[in-house]
A and B are shown apart, each in its own frame.
Chain A
Amino acid sequence: MLYGLLRKFTGRKPSKDTAKKRLQFALVYDKLEIKDTTLTDLQNDIVDVISKYFEIDKSSLQLEIKRDKDVSALVFNTPILCAKRMRT
């Protein structure tokens, strides 16, 4: 049978190509997904670390993931009240 030839004339794309492309995209996005608790856990850990060195306003901090076309970025915003004095 001449499916290949027929397709050349009619210009219909094989449906499996669509399937493959959709699949590849789905897998990439699946891997970018994170658990609900991950962001809050991360936020708590970051606050702990920063609090060792700075006084920060814990109520007004923000943590978010910004997704652009090409890259995903983790953005953490916090007002610093003052630096802690280190003993050493």
Chain B
Amino acid sequence: MEGKIIVVTSGKGGVGKTTATASIGAALALEGNRVAVIDMDIGLRNLDVVLGLENRIVFNIVDVVNKRCKLTQAAIRDRRIENLFLIPASQSDNKDVLTTAGVERAAKILKKEFDYILMDSPAGIEKGFENSIVSASEAIVICTPDVSSVRDADRVIGLLYARSITPKIIVNRIVPQMVAKGDMLSHEDVMEVLSVELAGLVPMDEQVVIATNMGMPLVMQNNSKAGQAFRRIAKRLNGETDLPIQVPTHKTGMWNKLSQKLGFKK
């Protein structure tokens, strides 16, 4: 069977695309799939450092697309997680070096080799974004609960629909305490504004910073709430669709429950 190409995108930068790609990719591999995560941010690569594989780069995606090397030469095998492979971006090339036709050609080979191919799209809606979505059959849009991120997500969702890709959304960096106070958009608010299907909810988690410092896949850390959330997202993507989406919560005390009962809070 052919593999699935999923693009991870957001429009706005800095909302957690790369962390999400690395985490979902690693989690899908832990589920027993052959997974390739591909950094499409030519000139500004980062997926390699997030996964801690920056010292092992020989070839990159531009080499693959332009046939300077074989796919197997460019795919870096992760030694900690079986069946997880990284194809890094080129750091020296101009970001216009890839063409959609070239990416489509490479995608055909990728689909034969892997069960899941995750494309980490660059921020923005220019050529890098076009290249990332050209062969994708599914899309995950990452947004954080703030106005600028949600607005950009809406724009990207429109562009994906225009190419007949139905996106799902991940609301990242939820701070449950702030949501409870009414000082952060809840995931329901975001869903209402964007009206797309939800892929999952990820809480704000200090462990993300620590994992990135160490170059360790977040999903390998059992004490990471965000890591757990990404594992659940991967399981749902992998076919466990009846796995419920967990809403991040903070400790609920007696007062909280009481005020909920009294109807002061949703």
A3, B253: Cα distance in complex, Å: 13
Query: Which B residues are CB-close (under 8 A) to A7?
Result: 182, 264
Instruction: Please indicate the chain A residues that have their CB under 8 angstroms from the CB of B186 in the complex.
Output: 16
**Does chain A have a CB within 8 A of B173?**
no
CB of A85 within 8 Å of the partner chain: no
Residue of A nearest to B180 (CB): A3
| Bound-state Cα–Cα, A2 to B265, Å | 9
Pick the contact of B147 from A2, A17, A23 — CB < 8 Å?
Answer: A23
B159 within 8 A of A: no
Q: Does A27 contact B (CB under 8 A)?
A: yes
B264 touches A20 (CB 8 A): no
Within residues 169 to 202 of chain B, which ones have a CB less than 8 A from any CB in chain A? 179-186, 189, 192-193
A42 to B25, CA, bound (A): 46
Residues of chain B in range 191-250 having any CB-CB distance to chain A below 8 Å: 192-193
Give the complex CA separation of A3 and B171 in angstroms.
23
A11 within 8 A of B: no
Stretch from B41-49, B96-104, B150-158 forming part of the interface with A: B150-158
| B258 neighbours in A (Cβ, 8 Å) | 2
Could you say which residues of chain B place their CB within 8 Å of the CB of A3?
180-182, 259, 265
Cβ–Cβ contact B182 & A20, under 8 A = no
With contacts A1-B255, A1-B256, A16-B189 known, is A23 near B151, CB below 8 A?
yes
CA distance A43 to B113 in the complex (A): 51
Q: Could you count the A-B residue pairs with CB atoms below 8 Å apart for me: how many are there? A: 60
Interface of B is mostly: helix
A15 with B182, Cβ < 8 A, contacts A23-B150, A26-B151 known = yes
CA distance A2 to B186 in the complex (A): 18
| CB nearest to A12 among chain B residues | B182
Q: Which residue of A lies closest to B258 (CB)?
A: A2
A22 contacts B by Cβ under 8 Å:
yes
CB pair B259 A23 closer than 8 Å: no
Question: Which residues of A in the span 1-25 have a Cβ within 8 Å of any Cβ on B?
Answer: 1-5, 7-8, 14-17, 19-20, 22-24
The residue from A2, A5, A17 contacting B182, defined by CB atoms under 8 A apart: A17
Q: Which residues of A contact B (CB under 8 A)?
A: 1-5, 7-8, 14-17, 19-20, 22-24, 26-27, 30
Known interface pairs A1-B180, A20-B185, A27-B154; 17 further A-B residue pairs with C-beta atoms within 8 A, sorted by A's residue number: A1-B253, A1-B255, A2-B258, A2-B259, A3-B181, A4-B265, A14-B181, A15-B182, A15-B183, A16-B179, A19-B189, A20-B192, A22-B147, A23-B147, A23-B185, A30-B151, A30-B154
